[in-house]
Structure 1
Amino acid sequence: MFNFMSFGENIGIDLGTASVLVYIKGQGIVIREPSVVAIDKDTNSIMAVGEEARRMLGRTPGNIVAIRPLREGVISNYDVTEKMLQYFIEKALGKRSFVKPTIAVCVPSSVTEVEMRAVEDATRQAGARRVHIIEEPIAAAIGSGIDISRACGSMVVDIGGGTTDVAVISLGGAVVSHSLKVAGDNFDEAIIRYMRKKHNILIGERTAEELKIEIGTVFERSMPVSMDVRGRNLITGLPKNITVTSDEMLDALLESALAITDAVHSVLERTPPELAADIYERGIVMTGGGSLLYGLDKLIQTKTGVNAMVAEDAVSCVAIGTGRYIEYMADNTAEEKKGRTGFFSKR
């Protein structure tokens, strides 16, 4: 019997708002770079992609613009997304592949049919021979080590750059799910707004992200920490240095964090009693870069009464889950031809 995956590479891509992770069967994660593209507006050509482009954010001359082609988990600039995907696919495969790869790509659970089609088309145009679309909470659950095929309730909270996906999973599918457009980028924006309002200082996205990572918190720390930050004084227009504390970050970030806890609470309320009992016993698994924000697991646990834990290598869970899915597809072609994957139906 012909195996359509016996030729070429099998690739899993976590196409995130903040970063792109590429997983190749048998090798693991081979690329982990920001979802940023630098474009020369005069020639409409790509100047840089990934980490090199991220370093240009806020530091480019007038003719060069560094942009994020994905916003809130979906494509906002189709052409640039296609070129970015093509760059990462070619970088991952090099010159080893003579056949177009089969690619699995993740999307938020609330994505529309049009948005899903845009991701599929962009991936195909970037060089894929066949495209499989996977919901992020399913991939996150697989990547965190949860056996989603069991008749047992598992709750996953995947907090990425643009969206937070909350899902209760059983028997390979999402029983209850909710996606909200509050995630890592919103934390950055909240810090920028706070610095402008409280200190009359304008800071950029990179500085806001550094503050979030170094001293950001959504739960009171036993030992407050601080960080020196430089921005532009909005009154004088001159650079200014100030010291920012973790208590201030708590004020800046708590509102966005509470929106996430409310979503978790809402999903728990709609969960069937038997599955809710499983979740209470097994706890809530948190994945994605946003889950690493200090105190977010404690906040969710306090608000829901259910133990919350951050998965090992939380940033990579979605990409790992996507890769394991594509590996499963490669090893189970016969079942795939019947329209089943063992995880969930393929697109």
Structure 2
Amino acid sequence: MKEKTNLSVGVDLGTSNLLIYVEGQGTLFNEPSIIAIDKATRNVVSVGYEAAKLDGKTHSKVEVARPLQGGVISDIQLIREILLYTLDKIFLSNLDSINKLLICIPSEITNTEKEAIVELGHSLGIQNTEIEEEIKAGALGSGLDIFAPKGHMVIDIGGGTTDFGILSLGEVVLSKSIKIAGDYFDRQIIDYVKTTHKLEIGNQTAERIKIALSSLTGPYPMDEDCNLIHAEAMGRDLVSGLPRQITLSPQEIREVLLRSFDPIKSILLATLEETPPELAGDLVDSGILLTGGCSQIPGIKEYFSEIAQIPVYLSEVPLTAVIDGCKKMLKMTSRYFYSEV
């Protein structure tokens, strides 16, 4: 009889991307948290990149959905289907080889939603299912010693939310969250193009423009010849109803982003004001760590540093910090220590 394998599995259940780490094998899945479902049978058509390709291009028989929106679970059953589909693919349906499942979740998920996530793991036959906050995992995965008696601040700018956390002694002392992040920036670009240029564009076009032209401070994005980068946007003309193409400048997108960041700025200041004095003093040296996909926006480090008047650092692994921290947590020998082995 073949001996049963007991593996630990970590999951970064992000609004934009789903990442799955398997003990001894590394991160085996890193794709968009998107699922395509056959409306008639409710069977999974595709998950991840393949499902993302269908976004905005499906017919009436297929539904493309994001089970997490704005850091909130919109459909727990679809999350179950995504996890079942991906874990089945990795383990070839042999899920009983999973001994422990650690799922990292957004900070603002309610207790009811947390219980639902744990029950989801149980429904997959994994009784040893635990959850942890992404802000804590992201700090650990970025190399911070969060177990020391010293205050650290992390800002995680993901797809659905921007999360703020003050950590010390291995726990989140204070946290705040706002539903303004990558997806919101895309919607603001869509609204701007619609209002200013009378052109309707889709989510994929908006995201491509954001990646190409975004900046908050300093020089605008330039090419190798030091010329300003522009981006083409194609969509439907709101007046004629015909396809049309326009050119957008980096100056336009910066204005959109700066307006979008104003509420983020307010939450940052509110978090600093509520931080206990001793921990606030630590931040003068430890500064602020930025993680998440949108921490890669040019000029963001300088933007936050000017507001907070303390050092700001970018994670060296902004896109994988949470799953890297999840990996370390799976090796923890207690709540406050982990093994490097």
Q: Specify if TM > 0.5.
A: yes
- What SS is found at the alignment partner of 2:29? strand
> Structure 1: which 4+ aligned runs deviate by more than 6 Å?
none
Match of 1:289 in 2: 293
Letter matched to residue 238 of structure 1: L
Q: Whole-Å Cα distance in 1 between the matches of residues 135 and 96 of structure 2?
A: 33
- What SS is found at the alignment partner of 2:19? strand
Q: Whole-Å Cα distance in 1 between the matches of residues 64 and 49 of structure 2?
A: 11
8 Å Cα contact 1:142-1:321 kept in structure 2: yes
Structure 1, unaligned runs of 5 or more: 1-5, 336-340
Q: Whole-Å Cα distance in 2 between the matches of residues 42 and 26 of structure 1?
A: 39
1:322 matched to 2:326? The reply is: yes
Match of 1:123 in 2: 121
Letter matched to residue 276 of structure 2: P
- What SS is found at the alignment partner of 2:329? helix
Match of 1:80 in 2: 78
- What SS is found at the alignment partner of 2:240? coil
- What SS is found at the alignment partner of 2:319? helix
Greater relative CO (CA pairs within 8 A, separation 6+): 1
Aligned positions of 1:186-265 closer than 5 A: 186-222=184-220, 224-265=228-269
- What SS is found at the alignment partner of 2:263? helix
Match of 1:301 in 2: 305
8 Å Cα contact 2:162-2:264 kept in structure 1: yes
Aligned positions of 1:19-58 closer than 5 A: 19-58=17-56
- What SS is found at the alignment partner of 1:110? coil
Shift of 1:220: 4.6
Specify whether residues 81 and 39 from structure 1 end up closer, same or farther in structure 2 by C-alpha distance, changes over 3 A only: same
Identity %: 36
Match of 2:160 in 1: 162
8 Å Cα contact 2:201-2:236 kept in structure 1: yes
Shift of 1:127: 4.2
Aligned-residue Cα RMSD (Å) equals 1.8
Specify whether residues 211 and 127 from structure 1 end up closer, same or farther in structure 2 by C-alpha distance, changes over 3 A only: farther
Match of 1:274 in 2: 278
Q: Whole-Å Cα distance in 1 between the matches of residues 249 and 136 of structure 2?
A: 37
8 Å Cα contact 1:28-1:320 kept in structure 2: no
Letter matched to residue 289 of structure 1: G
Q: Whole-Å Cα distance in 1 between the matches of residues 144 and 92 of structure 2?
A: 33
Of the three residues 177, 180, 183, the one matched with 2:181 is 183
Q: Whole-Å Cα distance in 1 between the matches of residues 86 and 125 of structure 2?
A: 11
Q: Deviations over 1:174-225 (max 9, x none)?
A: 1221111111111111111111111111111111111111111222535542
Letter matched to residue 268 of structure 1: L
Shift of 1:98: 4.2
Aligned length: 329
Letter matched to residue 203 of structure 2: E
Q: Deviations over 1:118-161 (max 9, x none)?
A: 22222332343321110111111111001111001111111111
- What SS is found at the alignment partner of 2:316? coil
Q: Deviations over 1:282-339 (max 9, x none)?
A: 22100111211222222111111122121011010011111210122xxx2xx5xxxx
The TM-score with structure 2 as length reference comes to 0.91
Q: Whole-Å Cα distance in 1 between the matches of residues 240 and 213 of structure 2?
A: 27
Q: Whole-Å Cα distance in 2 between the matches of residues 28 and 120 of structure 1?
A: 23
Q: Whole-Å Cα distance in 2 between the matches of residues 182 and 128 of structure 1?
A: 33
Of 85-94 and 28-37, more deviation after overlay is shown by 85-94
Q: Whole-Å Cα distance in 2 between the matches of residues 265 and 282 of structure 1?
A: 17
